[in-house]
Amino acid sequence: MNRRKFLGLGLGLGAAAMMLPSTLSAVNFRETKTSAFEGPKSHTIDDAMTELYGTSKTTVGKVKLKAPDIAENGAVVPIHVSSKLAGKTVSVFQDANPESLVAVFTVPANGLIDYKLRIKMAKTGTVTAVVQDGTTLFSASKMVKVTAGGCGG
């Protein structure tokens, strides 16, 4: 009987572990907005933005985007997005790669909009950061010159 119980417990634990990935995230944009990440609508910044937010109209300003003017190595382009807005989501786009959306951040209650990340860029392109505050989209763009491709190598 004990052995039976033990086995049953093991199975239960295994099932719980399998369940984990699906319950991790409150909003997974890859599942809810797949078309913004992949497919025919993901190639340009405008299209991807429309897929994600329903509009590609943005107000320039209130968002700080730090990126290098010239990236010697396109495989590692440091990006820094910050803003004092109480935005709900932050997203990063670029137009150097086949698909333009890089990442979408959901800003939690205690989160500050101050994100650093490193991205890959196949060629010279423009990086755009968007902060969604209510129904308004605020954005900042910056051109990054890539001298050696990251996706090409």
Partner 1 sequence: MAKKTRIKAKEKKGITTAKVMANHAMLSYDEAKRKKTEANFITSMIAKVDEEIVYEASTSQFLSKNPFVQFKFKGSNKGKMLTFTWVDKKGNTKTDKKKIK
Query: Nearest Cα to 94, choosing from 150, 135, 55, 133?
Result: 150
Smallest gap from residue 150 Cβ to partner 1 (A): 7
Residues 120-139 that bind partner 1 (CB under 8 A): 120-122
Residue 144 within binding range of partner 1, rule CB under 8 A: no
- The DSSP H or E segment spanning 34 is helix 34-37
The C-alpha atoms of residue 116 and residue 94 are separated, in whole angstroms, by: 15
Smallest gap from residue 38 Cβ to partner 1 (A): 8
Residue 142 within binding range of partner 1, rule CB under 8 A: no
CA dihedral (81, 63, 143, 93) in degrees, to 10, reads 60
Residues 62-121 that bind partner 1 (CB under 8 A): 75-77, 94, 97-99, 101-106, 108-112, 114-121
**Opening angle at CA 89, ends 108 and 151, nearest 5:** 115
- The DSSP H or E segment spanning 36 is helix 34-37
Smallest gap from residue 66 Cβ to partner 1 (A): 12
| Residue (7 or 148) nearer to partner 1, CB | 148
Residue 49 within binding range of partner 1, rule CB under 8 A: no
CB 114 within 8 A of CB 103: no
What mask of x and - would describe binding to partner 1 in positions 11 to 30, judged by CB under 8 A?
A: ---------xx--xxxxxxx
Give the binding site for partner 1 (CB under 8 A).
20-21, 24-30, 37, 75-77, 94, 97-99, 101-106, 108-112, 114-122, 150-152
